[in-house]
Amino acid sequence: MGQFDQKEDYLELMKGQIRCKKAKNLVAEEIDHHIEDQKASYMGEGDDENLAMGKALEQMGDPIEVGKRLDKIHKPRIEWHILLVVLVLCCFGVLAQFSMEKSIDGVKLPYNMNVGKHIIFIAVGFLLMVTVYFLDYAILGKYPKAIWVLLLAGIILYAPFGARINGHLPYLYAYGMLFIPVYGGILYAYRRKGYIGIIKCLLFSVVASMIELQFAVQSSVYLGLIFSSLIMLSAAVLKDWFGTSKRKAMAIIWGWTPIALFTLILLDISIFSQNLINRFQSLIETILHPELFEKGYQMNAARQVISHAQLFGGSNDFTIGYLPGLNNDYILTYVMGKWGIVAGILIICLFITFIGRMIYIASKQKNPLGNFVGLGCSLVFAVQGSVYILSNLGIQFIGQVNLPFVSNGGVSLFTNFIVLGIMLSVFRNTNIAKEVPYKKKFLINIERVK
């Protein structure tokens, strides 16, 4: 038997022990490299090629045992830590909303509670998460531009028919968060494209943010989208994805923001129609003294609830005031007032742990696509969580959002479960996904022979 047949038979026996089809070729390629390296080492000691191959295969060990050991490593994985934290957050949300169905100090809350419906939404969300989990997230690397266009088309098609509040489409805030993990695929598509690639990536995020700005009422959506995109693009530059000068690339990524701000002011867009300094001063004064301003009522009400809360258990002087959407917009404030500061801190710590775990998983991905898609998923929850926690503590800079997996909601809950499914798919493929080698384009120059 020739050396080629020896090696192929060995690899086939080994691959037969690996149950994950996607991992078979990846593992076989790794083992093939080890065998060739060892063969070269023996040949360097004076053995002929066939003898060197035989020794290399013998040193690798029994192919069946090797295959069984590798099967334990290269198989789909489930991130139980994240799932456990999400389950606890969901339980907190359900318990809080059950509590809201009862009266506080004998006064019925002025909200339409439907905890049963919320539980059904959670169940449907879990099904969406499982479906996305079993889909290969690599589709975001194969067709990122097509998926990006489809997301934009969804906004444009929904706009004429969607329910509006104050002229805007409130349900788009959750939908808009889907752009962030998809942006990981956009970056992957334009890697090694130099400065042109960086500029194209910027245009994708700017166009999406401007469209969101036209329809979504929450400023946290388009601001979260644009700044998450800039953070991801900066991370790609630091990893030398584009093969450019890092200093120049950072200047391109961040240098346009003050220019854009100045341009918006000159164009007198509605959000900057008043004097910018007066608006900023008004914002600071409202944050410092919300009780003096009509628009600071919600901040003041949230602070009043927290100021009367005890460390453990409910307060004897617990008044919730009128906080719109208590079961979604201010559920954390409610938990602190009803069950104590410690209960609220526990939810905050759980959520920080959840985000930290996601960032850790993303950073450990060997596949660059998984690394950046995972970072995008982490930023989705980081943006929502930071905005929500600040507003529930009585500090509200930008528009309100829901707290993922805790707040009542349909579209937002489904969207967050979809993003969670993408993240779990990234983790599932940690040891079985492989980056497709980048193939440089080449040109054939044919000259006429004189």
Mean pLDDT in the chain?
A: 77
Q: What is the pLDDT of residue 230?
A: 92
Q: What is the pLDDT of residue 438?
A: 40
What is the C-alpha to C-alpha distance for residues 449 and 98, in angstroms, rounded to an integer? 85
Determine which of 160-169, 222-231, 364-373 has the lowest per-residue pLDDT on average. 160-169
User: With bands split at pLDDT 50, 70 and 90, how would you rate the model's confidence at 395?
Assistant: confident
pLDDT digits (tens, 9 = 90+) for 114-136: 788 889 999 999 999 999 988 88
What is the C-alpha to C-alpha distance for residues 16 and 12, in angstroms, rounded to an integer? 6
Mean pLDDT of 133-159: 88
What is the C-alpha to C-alpha distance for residues 366 and 207, in angstroms, rounded to an integer? 30
Long-range contacts of 198-201 (CB under 8 A, 24+ apart): 198/233, 198/237, 198/242, 198/244, 198/249, 198/252, 198/253, 199/252, 201/229, 201/233, 201/236
pLDDT at 110 over 70: no
pLDDT digits (tens, 9 = 90+) for 213-230: 777 656 667 778 888 999
pLDDT at 268 over 70: no
Rg of the Cα atoms in the chain: 27
User: With bands split at pLDDT 50, 70 and 90, how would you rate the model's confidence at 437?
Assistant: very low
User: With bands split at pLDDT 50, 70 and 90, how would you rate the model's confidence at 337?
Assistant: confident
Q: What is the pLDDT of residue 373?
A: 93
Mean pLDDT of 415-426: 93
Q: What is the pLDDT of residue 443?
A: 35
Contact 53, 325 (CB under 8 A): no
pLDDT at 377 over 90: yes
Number of C-alpha atoms within 13 angstroms, CB side, residue 359?
A: 12
What is the C-alpha to C-alpha distance for residues 79 and 147, in angstroms, rounded to an integer? 26
What is the C-alpha to C-alpha distance for residues 120 and 146, in angstroms, rounded to an integer? 32
Q: What is the pLDDT of residue 338?
A: 83
Number of C-alpha atoms within 13 angstroms, CB side, residue 307?
A: 7
Share of the chain above pLDDT 90, in %: 25
pLDDT at 270 over 80: no
* Tokens 């009043």 sit on residue: 304
DSSP string, 244-293: S-HHHHHHHHHHHHHHHHHHHHHTT-GGGSS-HHHHHHHHHHHHH-GGGS
- Structural element, H or E, at residue 10: helix 3-15
Give the largest Cα separation in the chain, rounded.
Answer: 100
What is the C-alpha to C-alpha distance for residues 69 and 71, in angstroms, rounded to an integer? 5
Most confident of 50-54, 119-123, 156-160: 119-123
What is the C-alpha to C-alpha distance for residues 253 and 246, in angstroms, rounded to an integer? 10
What is the C-alpha to C-alpha distance for residues 210 and 223, in angstroms, rounded to an integer? 10
Determine which of 207-221, 310-324, 368-382 has the lowest per-residue pLDDT on average. 310-324
Mean pLDDT of 11-36: 69
